[in-house]
């Protein structure tokens, strides 16, 4: 690798000084100083911006550009009759070229520092995601067991007192929320690590959306909410990853239930055009304030609006949903009016691009 960089440096130096010779010839025959000075910038930039260039290398090319320019002036009789003006012009030119080369050299060094820091941050981020994933996996198993045991006690808790039933319900709620948060953290870690790989296949979409709605009916009924589904198509076969898209749509629906008022209506619509399919979830809830809209898709960011029944929110669902939709070559967007509700919509192509499909498999 070092040898390749060194060879690259030598090649660039040879090319830059050869270019300086060509510029000298152009300058000699044209005598147009305004255009010539711009041409002299090229060899300075080529050398001063190279990763292995030292400070003195940048200064040398600036000196040679000044020297060549002065020699061309002398040989083409363009210099002034007064030696003082001639040398003054030389000093001004050298100052311009030296400042230019120094600026390019310093800018290159700062850029390399930033690149080095970014590389270190990427390594640290990968390590963080790895350890976070291991920790979350280790915690998820016992937390899942606690949640399942609490659910069993709820279903078969005939001999429990009312107070004990409340405690069991609280254990189930806290363990379920904790499990949901851990799953979201694992998803975010996977997304940040760049390991979110969808596997799109041709599936029927309308029945899929109906199934996701049915899975959320229980939560909606607890708040006396109604979910209405609308679609112009009874059946629609398209290409998508069922598992990931179920998670995305489920996130939007649970959010709509959380942030909608009791006795309200949530509307899910599916619309198809020539190339894309659009799915929208509209609620009549608290909406999103103008100052919070930039936070909506950021991980762990929470807006000022609160769920209407005090439900838990990790602040990760929409960030995950956005990445899943983008992995389907689609877009997620929203419109909202504070105090009246929100509509979250995502669209993606009916047919997943073949080149993306090959890389996904």
Estimate to the nearest angstrom the gap between the alpha carbon of 193 and the chain centroid: 12
Say if CB 61 and CB 48 are below 8 A apart.
yes
Percent of the chain with pLDDT over 90: 24
> What's residue 80's pLDDT?
54
3-state secondary structure the chain: CHHHHHHHHHHHHHHHHHHHHHHHHHHHHHCCHHHHHHHHHHHHHHHHCCCCCCHHHHHHHHHHHHHHHHHHHHHCCCCCCCHHHHHHHHHHHHHHHHHHHHHHHHHHHHHHHHHHHHHHHHHHHHHHHHHHHHHHHHHHHHHHHHHHHHHHHHHCCCCCCHHHHHHHHHHHHHHHHHHHHHHHHHHHHHHHCCCCCCCCEEEECHHHHHHHHHHHHHHHHHCCCEEEEEECCCCCEEEECHHHHHHHHHHHHHHHHHHECCCCEEEEEEEECCCEEEEEEECCECCCCHHHHHHCCCCCCCCCCCCCCCCCCCCCHHHHHHHHHHHCCCEEEEEEECCCEEEEEEEEECCCCHHHHHHHC
Counting the structural domains of the chain, the total is 3
- 134 and 165 in a common domain: yes
> What's residue 1's pLDDT?
45
> What's residue 195's pLDDT?
65
Mean pLDDT, range 124-131, rounded to an integer: 75
- 248 and 356 in a common domain: yes
Average pLDDT along the chain: 81
- Among the listed ranges 81-85, 147-151, 194-198, 254-258, which one has the minimum average pLDDT value? 81-85
> What's residue 139's pLDDT?
77
Mean pLDDT, range 220-228, rounded to an integer: 92
Q: What is the pTM of this model?
A: 0.59
- 222 and 354 in a common domain: yes
Mean pLDDT, range 211-237, rounded to an integer: 92
Pick 110 or 29 by higher pLDDT: 110
- 208 and 333 in a common domain: yes
- 216 and 183 in a common domain: no
Single out the residue in 119, 144, 167 at which a domain terminates: 119
- 106 and 69 in a common domain: yes
pLDDT at 176 over 80: no
Single out the residue in 175, 192, 209 at which a domain terminates: 192
- 212 and 301 in a common domain: yes
- 226 and 178 in a common domain: no
pLDDT per residue as tens digits for the range 33-58: 555 667 788 888 888 888 778 888 88
- 51 and 154 in a common domain: no
Single out the residue in 71, 86, 119 at which a domain terminates: 119
- 218 and 355 in a common domain: yes
- 76 and 206 in a common domain: no
Pick from 2-6, 20-24, 293-297, 343-347 the range whose average pLDDT is largest: 343-347
> What's residue 277's pLDDT?
95
Mean pLDDT, range 80-99, rounded to an integer: 75
- 67 pLDDT tier (thresholds 50, 70, 90): confident
pLDDT at 116 over 90: no
Mean pLDDT, range 319-325, rounded to an integer: 90
Mean pLDDT, range 104-114, rounded to an integer: 86
> What's residue 76's pLDDT?
63
pLDDT at 324 over 60: yes
pLDDT at 2 over 50: no
Pick 253 or 170 by higher pLDDT: 253
pLDDT at 210 over 90: yes
- 5 pLDDT tier (thresholds 50, 70, 90): very low
Domain span including residue 85: 2-119
- 173 and 113 in a common domain: no
- 304 pLDDT tier (thresholds 50, 70, 90): low
pLDDT at 185 over 90: no
pLDDT at 12 over 70: yes
pLDDT per residue as tens digits for the range 73-84: 777 655 555 667
Provide the CATH number for the domain around residue 249: 3.30.565.10
């Amino acid at each position: 690798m070092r040898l390749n960089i060194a060879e690259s440096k030598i090649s660039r130096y040879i090319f830059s000084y050869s270019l300086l010779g060509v510029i000298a010839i152009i300058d000699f025959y044209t005598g147009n100083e305004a255009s010539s000075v711009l041409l002299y910038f090229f060899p300075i930039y080529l050398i001063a911006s190279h990763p292995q260039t030292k400070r003195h290398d940048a200064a040398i090319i600036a000196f040679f550009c000044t020297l060549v320019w002065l020699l061309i002036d002398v040989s083409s009789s363009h210099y002034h009759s007064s030696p003082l003006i001639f040398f003054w012009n030389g000093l001004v030119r050298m100052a311009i070229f030296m400042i230019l080369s120094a600026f390019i050299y310093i800018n290159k060094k700062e850029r390399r520092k930033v690149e080095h820091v970014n590389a270190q941050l990427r390594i640290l981020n990968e390590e963080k995601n790895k350890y976070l994933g291991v920790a979350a996996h280790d915690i998820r198993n016992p937390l899942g067991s606690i949640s399942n045991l609490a659910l069993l006690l709820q279903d078969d808790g005939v001999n429990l007192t009312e107070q004990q039933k409340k405690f069991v319900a609280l254990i189930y709620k806290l363990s379920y929320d904790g499990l949901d948060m851990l799953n979201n953290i694992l998803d975010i870690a996977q997304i940040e690590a760049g390991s979110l790989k969808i596997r799109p296949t041709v599936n029927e979409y309308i029945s899929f959306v109906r199934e996701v709605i049915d899975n959320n009916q229980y939560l909606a009924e607890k708040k006396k909410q109604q979910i209405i589904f609308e679609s112009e198509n009874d059946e629609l076969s398209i290409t998508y990853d069922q598992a990931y898209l179920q998670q995305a749509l489920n996130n939007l629906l649970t959010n709509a239930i959380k942030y909608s008022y009791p006795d309200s209506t949530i509307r899910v619509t599916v619309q198809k055009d020539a190339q894309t399919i659009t799915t929208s979830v509209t609620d009549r809830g608290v909406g999103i304030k103008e100052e919070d809209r930039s936070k909506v898709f950021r991980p762990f960011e929470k807006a000022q609006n609160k769920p209407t029944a005090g439900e838990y929110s990790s602040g990760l669902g929409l960030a995950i949903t956005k990445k899943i939709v983008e992995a389907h070559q689609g877009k997620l967007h929203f419109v909202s009016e504070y105090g009246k509700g929100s509509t979250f919509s995502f669209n993606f192509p009916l047919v997943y691009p073949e080149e993306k499909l090959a890389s996904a498999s």
